[in-house]
Amino acid sequence: MSVARFPRLLGAELRLILRERLTWAIIAALLAALCLAAWTGADRVARERTAIAEAADDSERAVREARAAHERYAKPSPIKVNYWQDPTDAFGFMTYFMAAYAVKPPTPLALLAAGQSDVQPAVTKISFGFSTVFDDTAYELGSAARLKLGPFDLAFVLVYLVPLAVIALAGTRLSAEQDSGVLRMIAAQPVGPRRVAAAKFGAVALVAVTGVVGGTGLALALAGGLGPLAGWETTLALLAAALATYVMLWVAVCALVASLWRGAVAALAILVLTWAGITMVLPTGLGIALDALAPMPSRIAAIDASRQAQALFSTAEKGARITAAWASRKVPDAAQHRPALVEAPEIKRLARDAFYDEALADHRESWHEHALAASAWSRRLALLSPATILALALETAAGTDAGRHADFLTAGGAYRRRLRTFFEPRILAQAMNPVPVCAGCPARLGFDAYDAVPAFEPAIPRATAQREALVALGCLLAGALLLTALTYRRLTEWPS
Amino acid sequence: MHIEQRELPQAEADNPVLAIRAAVKRFGARTALNGLDLTLRAGEVFALLGPNGAGKTTTINLILGFLKPDAGAVQVCGIEAGSDPVGARGHVAYIPEQVALYPGLSGIENLRYFATLAGLDLSVDASRRLLTEAGLPEEAQGRPAASYSKGMRQKVGIAVALARQARLLLLDEPTSGLDPSAAADFSVTVRHAAERGTAVLMATHDLYRVREMADRVGVLSRGRIVEDIDPKTLDHVALEHLYIERLAEITA
C-alpha cells in the first residue's frame, strides 16, 4: 500500500471512531468537565479581581479620608485630636490611616489553573500595627504535588482527567480487535501493523486533540473568555501546542501498550496503572524527594524566636535600652535636642520593628531560601513526569504557581521595608522638630505627602510563563516521539 | 468500482500459486511442521485434513506471513511470505473459521473498510454488487453486522476476497457451524471462484464438503502431508474410512 493511500485509511479509521457512541459519550463527558472547571476558574479569578479592586478602593479611601481630615484639622478649632486620629502625623498616618496592599493580580491566563491561589491569598495588607513579626512568611508554601488534587480547575481536568478520556478512546484500539477476531481479518490484508496502527492511533489522536483543545477553547468561551491577552498570545499558543502534545503522548502510550498484543482487559489494566503511576505515584514521590532536597526550616524554632524577641522587648528595661540604642543610631544628637525622644510611642514602635527584623533575620532568610530552593527543585523535578510538566506550565501561565507566590511574599516583605524607609525619616523629623500646621489647629504636625507614599508594583511573570510553556512543549514532544519510536520498533509483525 | 474477474494468461496459470517446500516450523521443543511440501496451481481446490494440532493453522499462518519457517520456503505467486509478508498477502484472501466484523458497521461498510486496508477504493454500488455476488441478501447489506449469522459474516468475507481478486483463497474450517443450505451455497461460491482461476486451500474436517468441493485432499500428520488423494476416485464412505484409518495410524 502506497503512502498516498494512507489518508484514505486514516479517513476510514476516523469514520469508524466517529460512528462509535462511546466516542461521543467520552467527548460529552469531557466537555462537561471542562466547562465546569472553566466556570469554577472564572469564578475564582473574578473573586480575586474583586478583592484586588477592593484593596485599591480601600487605599484610595484611606488617602481621601486622610486628606479630608487634614483639611478639617488644619483650621483653628477648639477640638483636640490624638496622634492616631491625626493624618498630619506621619506615624499616625502610617499606622492608622494608610491602607497599603501587596497584590498578586491574576494573569490573562489565570483561568487555567488554581495552583497555590486556592490556599494562598492574592492580596496582603501591609500593616504597621502590633502584629508584624511574620507577615511575609505567614503562609507556608507547599509543593505543587501536595496541592495537585485540590480544586476542580482546568489544570485538574487537563492534567488528570484528559489522559483517562484518551485511554477510554484509544486504550482498546487493536487489542479489542484482537479479542473479537477482527484483527485477524485486518492482518490478512496486504498491509503491515505499523500502517494500521498509525491510521488507528492517528485517527484517535485527531479526535482526541480536537476534542480536548477545542473543548477547552469552548469551555473558556462559555465561561466568559480570557479577555485581553496583552502580549500573552505566544504563551497561549505554546500551551495549546503542549496540551495537544500531551494528548498525543497519551495516545502514544496507548499505542505502545497495544503493541504488546495482550488483549483489551490487560491493555486497560496496564494503561490505568500507567495513568496512576504518572499522575499520582510519581508526583507524590517527587513531593517526597522535594522535602528531602529542600528541607523545610523549623517553624517551631521561628515561632519560638519570635516569642523570645517579643518577650525581650516587652521587658521594660530591655525595651527602653533597645529603643535608646536604635534612636542614638538614627539620630546621634537626639539626647541633646529631645531627651524624652525614646519615650515617644512612634520611636518605640520603629525601634521595636527594627529589633524584630534583626532578631528574626536568620529565620526569615532561611524561610526565604527554602521557598526559593523548593520552587527551583519543583521546577526541576516536574520534568520527570508529563503530568507535572503540564501542570507546572499551566500554573505558571495562570500565575498561581508556588514560585510566583514565594516571589509575591518576598515582594510583600520588601514593600513593607520600603514603606518604613519612606516613613522613618519623616517620623523622626516630626519627632525631633514637631511643627504644628497652624496656631490653634487640631492638626499637630505637617505631614501631607500622601501621594508620595510608594505603591506596590505587582509582577506579572510573562517571560517565565512563556519559558515554562516552551519547556513543557519540548519535553512532552520528546516523550511523545520516544514512545512513538518504541511503538514503531515493536510493531514489525502481526501477532500469529 | 466495477470488479471484473480476469482470465489468467497460460504462463501465469502454469506457475504454482502456492509453493511450500520442506517447510519446518518449531515452537520450542514441539515441531508443528516437519518438512511440509505443498504445491497449488490456479483453479485448484485443495482440502487439508488432519486432527487438531496436526499443523493446519500453522500452515495458514506461514502462508499469511504471520510466522516465518525455521527451514524451507513458503511462496505465494513467487513471493517469499516470510521475508515479504505484505507482498505475499497481496495475492491471498483469507476467510477464518469465525469471520469477525465490526459489529456497528453494516456489511457494506465492513467491506469498504477491509477494501481500504487492501488499498482499494470501493464505491457503495460496487460493494453492493460484490455482496450480492457473495450471496448476502440485499436487505441485509445495510444492516449492522452485529445482527449477522455466521453464514452472513462469511459472505462478507467472500465479498472481501472477490474485491481483492486474490489468486489464493485460504479457508479455515469454512463450513463448521453453517446450516446445510448455507454450506451448500458456500460450496457453490468456492467452486465459482476456482473456475475463475483462484487457487483454494481449505483446512477442514467436513469430509462431505471436501468431496464436493476439493480437487485434491491432503491428510496432514505430524507436520507433513502423508496422503494426497483425488476425492473423486472415492465415494463418501470410502473417503471417511480412509481418513479414520489414517487418524488411527497417526494416534497409534
List the domain boundaries for chain A. 1-496
pLDDT at A74: 84
Residues 440-459 of A with CB under 8 A from B: none
Proportion of chain B in helix, strand, coil states, percent, rounded to 5: 40, 25, 35
Mean pLDDT on B173-193 = 82
Interval A137-186: pLDDT, tens: 444 445 455 455 567 889 999 999 999 999 999 999 999 999 999 999 99
Q: Which residue has the cell 483463497?
A: B169
Mean pLDDT on A342-346 = 83
Report yes or no: B70 at the A interface, CB cutoff 8 Å: no
Give A130's pLDDT tier (boundaries 50, 70, 90).
low
Residue A353 has pLDDT above 50, yes or no: yes
In this complex, the residue of A180, A184, A190 whose CB is nearest that of residue B119 is: A190
Which residue would you say has higher pLDDT here, A85 or A265? Answer: A265
Mutate to test the interface with A, among B56, B91, B116, B127 (most CBs of A within 10 A): B116
Contact check, Cβ <8 Å, B100/A188: no
Report yes or no: A186 at the B interface, CB cutoff 8 Å: yes
Cβ-based burial of A258 (10 A; exposed 0-12, middle 13-18, buried ≥19): buried
Give B2's pLDDT tier (boundaries 50, 70, 90).
very low
CB B194 within 8 A of CB B168: no
Report yes or no: B201 at the A interface, CB cutoff 8 Å: no
Angle at A361 between CA A356 and CA A362, to 5 degrees: 135
Contact check, Cβ <8 Å, B104/A19: yes
Which residue would you say has higher pLDDT here, A188 or B176? Answer: A188
Residues 125-154 of B with CB under 8 A from A: none
Out of A129-143, A321-335, B15-29, give the one with best mean pLDDT.
B15-29
**In angstroms, what CA-CA distances link A45 with A104, A295, A401, B149, B246?**
11, 32, 14, 59, 83
**Mean pLDDT (chain A, rounded):** 88
Mean pLDDT on A422-426 = 92
In this complex, the residue of A5, A20, A190 whose CB is nearest that of residue B86 is: A190
> Cα–Cα distance between A49 and A104 in angstroms, integer?
10
DSSP character at residue B144: B
Which has the minimum average pLDDT: B4-13, B120-129, B232-241? B4-13
Which has the minimum average pLDDT: A31-40, A75-84, A348-357, B107-116? A75-84
> Cα–Cα distance between A418 and A246 in angstroms, integer?
44
Coil/strand/helix, residue A85: helix
10 Å Cβ neighbour count for B33?
26
Q: ipTM surpassing 0.90, yes or no?
A: no
pLDDT at A468: 95
% of chain A surpassing 70 pLDDT: 94
Query: How near does any CA of chain B get to the CA of A480, in Å?
Result: 26
All residues of chain A having their beta carbon less than 8 Å from the beta carbon of residue B89 are: 188-191
Strands (E), A109-218: 123-126
Mutate to test the interface with A, among B63, B117, B170 (most CBs of A within 10 A): B117
Coil/strand/helix, residue A101: strand
Contact check, Cβ <8 Å, B119/A184: no
Residue A80 has pLDDT above 50, yes or no: yes
C-alpha cell at A226: 480570557
HSE-up (13 A, CA, CB side) for residue A29 = 13
CB B85 within 8 A of CB A194: no
Amino acid letter, B80: E
Query: How near does any CA of chain B get to the CA of A221, in Å?
Result: 35
Cβ-based burial of B148 (10 A; exposed 0-12, middle 13-18, buried ≥19): buried
Mean pLDDT on A275-301 = 89
Give B239's pLDDT tier (boundaries 50, 70, 90).
confident
* Residue in chain B lying closest to A22 (CA): B104
Task: Indicate the pairing of strand A100-103 with strand B45-49.
Answer: unpaired
pLDDT at B251: 65
> Cα–Cα distance between A249 and A234 in angstroms, integer?
22
Question: DSSP characters for A12-37?
Answer: HHHHHHHH-HHHHHHHHHHHHHHHHH
> Cα–Cα distance between A361 and A152 in angstroms, integer?
38
Q: Which of B134, B167, B237 is nearest to B6 (CA)?
A: B167
Q: Which of A145, A142, A139, A59 is nearest to A409 (CA)?
A: A139
All residues of chain A having their beta carbon less than 8 Å from the beta carbon of residue B98 are: 181
Residues 6+ apart with CB under 8 A from B160: A185, B93, B111, B114, B115, B118
* Residue in chain A lying closest to B157 (CA): A185
Give the distance from CA A147 to its chain's centroid. Answer: 11
Give A129's pLDDT tier (boundaries 50, 70, 90).
low
Out of A2-11, A141-150, A244-253, A330-339, give the one with best mean pLDDT.
A244-253
Mean pLDDT on A2-21 = 85
**In angstroms, what CA-CA distances link B112 with A87, A206, A330, B105?**
86, 22, 92, 10
Interval B49-77: pLDDT, tens: 888 778 888 999 999 999 999 999 999 99
All residues of chain A having their beta carbon less than 8 Å from the beta carbon of residue B64 are: 187-188
> Cα–Cα distance between A426 and A103 in angstroms, integer?
26
DSSP character at residue B30: E
Report yes or no: B92 at the A interface, CB cutoff 8 Å: yes
pLDDT at A439: 79
CB B38 within 8 A of CB B50: no
CB A358 within 8 A of CB A210: no
10 Å Cβ neighbour count for A329?
11
pLDDT at B141: 96
Which residue would you say has higher pLDDT here, A464 or B182? Answer: A464
All residues of chain A having their beta carbon less than 8 Å from the beta carbon of residue B93 are: 188
C-alpha cell at A331: 539620630
**Mean pLDDT (chain B, rounded):** 86
Residue B12 has pLDDT above 60, yes or no: no
Number of H helices, E strands in chain B: 10, 10
Task: Indicate the pairing of strand B79-80 with strand B71-76.
Answer: antiparallel
Query: How near does any CA of chain B get to the CA of A193, in Å?
Result: 10
CB A9 within 8 A of CB A137: no
Contacts across the A-B interface (CB distance below 8 Å) = 76
Cβ-based burial of A405 (10 A; exposed 0-12, middle 13-18, buried ≥19): buried
pLDDT at B220: 86
pLDDT at A3: 44
Q: What phi and psi, each to the nearest 5 degrees, are found at residue B168?
A: -130, 130
Contact check, Cβ <8 Å, A186/B118: no
Q: Fold for B12-91+166-251, please state it.
A: Rossmann fold (3.40.50)
pLDDT at B14: 64
Cβ-based burial of A324 (10 A; exposed 0-12, middle 13-18, buried ≥19): middle
Residues 195-234 of A with CB under 8 A from B: 196
pLDDT at B6: 47
Mean pLDDT on A48-73 = 92
All residues of chain B having their beta carbon less than 8 Å from the beta carbon of residue A189 are: 89, 114, 117-118, 164
Residue A32 has pLDDT above 90, yes or no: yes
In this complex, the residue of A1, A2, A185 whose CB is nearest that of residue B114 is: A185
Q: Which of B80, B51, B39 is nearest to B203 (CA)?
A: B51
pLDDT at A2: 46
Contact check, Cβ <8 Å, A20/B104: yes
Mean pLDDT on A354-381 = 87
List the domain boundaries for chain B. 12-91+166-251, 106-165
Number of H helices, E strands in chain A: 20, 2
In this complex, the residue of B64, B98, B170 whose CB is nearest that of residue A181 is: B98
Contact check, Cβ <8 Å, B86/A5: no
Query: What DSSP element (H or E) covers A90?
Result: helix A90-92
In this complex, the residue of A16, A19, A187 whose CB is nearest that of residue B66 is: A187
Angle at A320 between CA A316 and CA A321, to 5 degrees: 120
> Cα–Cα distance between A283 and A387 in angstroms, integer?
8
Amino acid letter, A488: Y
